[in-house]
Amino acid sequence: MPDIKEQKLLYHLTSLENLSSIFQNGLKPRAQLRAFEDVADAEILKKRQGLALEQYVPFHWFAANPFDGSVQRRRSDAQFVVITVRRNVAIRKQWKVIPRHPLANDAIQLLDYAEGFEAINWDVMNARDYHDPQCKSICMAECLSPDVVSPNDFFKIFVSNAEVEALCESKMREAGVNVQIGVNRGMFLR
């Protein structure tokens, strides 16, 4: 398996239902959202709000992470897409990093990108052992945009199959944006 630290992308899972709005308005921090298909757990959202994390757009360091799996298992009837952004966009735009799950038992560390990147325990993350609570927490480290992420900053949107790909392409044309879309079944449970 490739070293996650050396990869070039960041990943954000969302419902296919949100894609039209995202193409038109960008990927917004939760605090700026009004009507959208929420994929996150309500209890976790309350805790994130207490840490003011709803002011950021969260991305993960790899796809098919514990969050993605949890959401897809909980909402097995829904279709999802994974929006990717190059890590150099996060560096250039001065995004923040949380080196482990923000709701881990220890205090939250909201760090500047470079410091946060170095604070992540990449060896543990690369193990991807979701039965180990420490590893699972590190696998849910986040890179956080304090601003709306424009479709112009998207690298590619990954989908589970050709049917979802066609729907995404239609939504993209309606919004007048141009983003690469590709099928990668390995990023999705079904």
- Token couple for 190: 């079904």
Is 13 labelled as part of a ligand binding site? yes
> Quick one: pLDDT at residue 75?
87
- Classify the phi-psi angles of 64: left when phi > 0, otherwise alpha if psi is within -120 to 50, otherwise beta: left
Structural domain tally of the chain?
1
**Full pLDDT tens readout for the chain, 190 residues:** 789 999 999 999 999 999 999 999 999 988 787 765 555 555 666 666 667 788 899 999 999 999 899 889 988 889 999 999 999 999 999 999 999 987 765 567 789 999 999 999 999 999 999 999 999 999 999 999 999 999 999 999 999 999 999 999 999 999 999 999 999 999 998 6
Is 34 labelled as part of a ligand binding site? no
Active site annotation includes 48? yes
Active site annotation includes 163? no
Is 84 labelled as part of a ligand binding site? no
Q: Who contacts 147 (Cβ-Cβ below 8 Å, separation ≥6)?
A: 29, 57, 93
> Quick one: pLDDT at residue 37?
53
Euclidean distance between the first and the last CA atom of the chain, given in angstroms as a whole number: 21
> Quick one: pLDDT at residue 31?
75
Range of the domain at 41: 4-187
Compute the distance between CA of residue 81 and CA of residue 89 in angstroms, rounded to an integer: 20
Residues 86-131 have pLDDT tens digits of 999 999 999 999 999 877 655 677 899 999 999 999 999 999 999 9
